[in-house]
Structure 1
Amino acid sequence: MIRMPAEWETHAATWVAWPHNRMDWPGKFAAIPFVFAEIIRHLGRRERVEILVRDAAMEARARGVLDRAGALSANVRFHALPTDRIWLRDSGCCFVRDGDALGAVQWRFNAWAKYDNFQQDAEVAGFMARAAGARGRRAGMVLEGGSIDVNGRGTLLTTEECLLSKVQERNPGLGREGYEKAFAEHLGIRKVIWLGDGIRGDDTHGHVDDLSRFVGERTVVTVVEPRRDDPNHAPLAENLRRLRAATDQDGRPLEVVELPLPGPLTYRGIRLPASYGNFYIANGLVLVPVFNDPNDRVALDLLASLFPDREIVGIYSGDFIWGFGAMHCMTQQQPALAVGE
């Protein structure tokens, strides 16, 4: 039986790739390795961190940065694999429970149906599966991990903008029923909740991990924008309406918690996808992007109330978000296998 665990279930490891593509953060790249070091420093205190690097020279540079940041530990391991970009949530495999074994769903990856340079990233999912000793499952369709979120019990969140739009179309001809069948087959999903549109500035065209996230089997946080003159107001209000009307895999209503957005963040005239919804749940902690915004404290306090047994860590992401991603986009969890489960 296939089951994709929820992100809050115990991890064996978190997978990341060391940043190297300067064009993902033009003019701001110098700060990015140190943001990664801060993230890895926190993760390494709680679980193993598997880091992809191009070669020995990149590993040496990464070790130097991590050492200066106090982030090197026995929990940090390196793997030589070239990548085009570092967004392993999307290029990496989705780890699942396959009976008593670890499974890995290897979706196809085409750089969000937007960029041409993804040939190296297309090899990441298979590499991760092999390195983790997981049972690989080739899905035969394009899907990014950031486009879905699960409660670990059979319910999945996604958006129509990402999967059903003709813009940045991942799988031409594949409709709602086709996706739901694939989710059932590869992830053990029994209920799909379809939201509408994503936030402005998201160049993935509607990833759900900037919008709405499960934080419990029946509890969802969803970002809202109260300012009616903001272009995010109407689509986020519609997503909130859909969630309030939705039920889980057993027909039970969801508990829906509203999460604010930071104020609009722009750089070089471009609206950036700054969202507290892009947090990452790890063993014993939650990493949350913050932006030196008054709503930072509101978001951190709210997430602390939802995760009372975890440390809530704000990671300054004002520079990081220029790459159009944050904590959740860069990480991919590998679940632990419980004895006897």
Structure 2
Amino acid sequence: MFTQKKLIAEFEKQDFTQIIFPHQKTDWAEYLQEAQATFVNIINAVRKQQKCLVIAYDINSVKKHFKEFDNLEFIKYETDDTWARDCSALTIIENGEKKLLDFQFNGWGNKFAHTKDNKMSKALSSYYKYPMQSIDFVLEGGGVESNGDGVILTTTNCMHNPNRNPNLNAATITKELQNYFRVKEILYLSHGHLAGDDTDSHIDTLARFIAKDAIMYVQCKDKNDEHYEALTNMEKELKTIASAKNFKLIALPMSKSVYFEGERLPATYANFLFVNGAVLVPIYNVETDEAALDIFRKTFPQREVVAIDCSVLIRQHGSLHCISMNF
């Protein structure tokens, strides 16, 4: 009997958003209060629209950051870090029923500590109301974009990187993805990167499905910018895909350069977050923010567009989408 599956698209209706609250043992320790204030702001924005599950190192300590608890739930677990997008389970529909797939997480190719993060979903599995399946395959949520209609978008630099699944070749990896998600097609982008990115070009920093036939992506028009060639070549790839698939493309501006301690950071407006009734948009207190927000307002007239200051998040080379997971 043929098993029908699909990786649910993020623009579809959600049950809740999962966020891991930063603590002293995470990489946020140097500016923990700033980071925690940013996470509180994000959690409050999410819970205006839907339930938010906060994974807390110490529930009582984390609760002190909130005055109200509507649409808030807490569960105790100590993580290595806070990148929920990449260490949380992915939600699929299999034969009409929702199911969670718990892939392996190896710290983006063993770059960072990840043992606790990798065990998180299994440890919390009794909380989730859907069955969970453990998968012996390294995959991060930020590395795949689903249109909810049989197509997944990803990057070769991440998905085929030998630091993820070194014993599998490109063809086998594609077959594995098709098996896990039962998609008609895996679309790979071979170009596109952001300076300071630790993820080997996660798709959620570059291009995102916003409908089954529409992709929003980062465009670089400045020929003097170090990203110009790579992002222009990525744009050409996307235009070829769009022409073949009859997809609509919506360009986002390349963020004005953001630096911290002399390092250029991978600030991107593509790292936005869908919640029911709204889209949360990362901003970085730079001059390109308003242009990006205008594009979101025009693109999503039926959703509230909420700007979220992510200038602290980006210091750790991630942003809004990276620190959250939709269920």
TM-score range, shorter chain: over 0.9
Cα drift, residue 247 of structure 1: 5.1
CA separation in 2, counterparts of 1:235 and 1:306?
Answer: 25
One-letter amino acid matched to 2:28: W
Q: Does 1:86 align with 2:89?
A: no
Alpha-carbon spacing, 1:95–1:276, altered in 2? closer, same or farther (3 Å): same
Gaps of at least 5 residues in structure 1 are 335-341
- The reply on whether 1:187 has 2:181 as its aligned counterpart is yes
Assess if the C-alpha contact under 8 Å between 1:91 and 1:122 holds in 2. yes
Within the alignment, does 1:75 sit opposite 2:75 as a pair? no
Superposition TM-score, scaled by structure 2 size: 0.94
Distance 2:139 2:24 in 1: 22
SS in 2 for 1:178: helix
Give SS of 2:114's match: coil
What does residue 337 of structure 1 align with? none
Give the superposition deviation at 1:127.
3.5
Letter in 1 for 2:39: F
Match of 2:196 in 1: 201
Q: 2:122 & 2:96 partners in 1: Cα distance?
A: 20
CA distance in 1, matches of 2:93, 2:161: 30
What CA deviation, in whole Å up to 9, does each residue of 1:132-165 have, x standing for no partner?
A: 1222222211010001111111111111111223
Aligned equivalent of 2:37? 34
Give the equivalent residue in structure 2 for 1:44.
47
More deviation in 173-182 or 142-151?
A: 173-182
Cα deviation for residue 22 of structure 1 reads 5.7
Distance 1:149 1:287 in 2: 17
Q: Within 5 A, what are the aligned runs for 1:55-204? A: 58-67=58-67, 72-166=68-162, 169-196=163-190, 197-204=192-199
**Per-residue deviation, residues 139-197 of structure 1 (Å, max 9, x unmatched):** 2110100011111111111111112234xx11113232222212222122211111123
1:253 maps to which of 228, 246, 257: 246
1:24 deviates by: 2.1
The residue aligned with 2:309 is 316
TM value normalised by structure 1: 0.90
Q: Which residue of 1 aligns with 2:219?
A: 224
Partner in structure 2 of residue 339 of structure 1: none
For residues 194-247 of structure 1, what are the alpha-carbon distances to aligned partners after superposition, in whole Å with 9 as ceiling and x for unaligned?
A: 112321111111111010001111110110111112111111111111111115
The equivalent of 1:296 in structure 2 is 289
Task: Please give the alpha-carbon distance, in whole angstroms, between the structure 2 residues aligned to 1:319 and 1:268.
Answer: 13
| Number of the residue aligned with 1:237 | 232
Structure 2 stretches lacking a partner, 5+ long: none
Deviation at 1:266, TM superposition (A): 1.1
CA RMSD of the aligned region, Å? 1.6
Secondary structure at the aligned position of 2:15 is classed as: strand
Q: Say whether 1:272 aligns with 2:265.
A: yes
Mapping for residues 322-333 of structure 1, pairs under 5 Å: 322-333=315-326
Q: Is the 8 A contact 1:85 1:121 kept in 2?
A: yes
Answer with 26-35 or 276-285: which moved more. 26-35
Between the aligned partners of 1:73 and 1:191, the Cα distance in structure 2 is 42
Kindly tell me the number of residue pairs found equivalent between the two proteins.
323
- The answer to whether the 8 A contact 1:44-1:73 is kept is no
Q: 1:2 maps to what in 2?
A: 5
CA distance in 2, matches of 1:235, 1:77: 42
The alpha-carbon distance between structure 1 residues 153 and 127, as it changes in their structure 2 partners (threshold 3 A), is farther
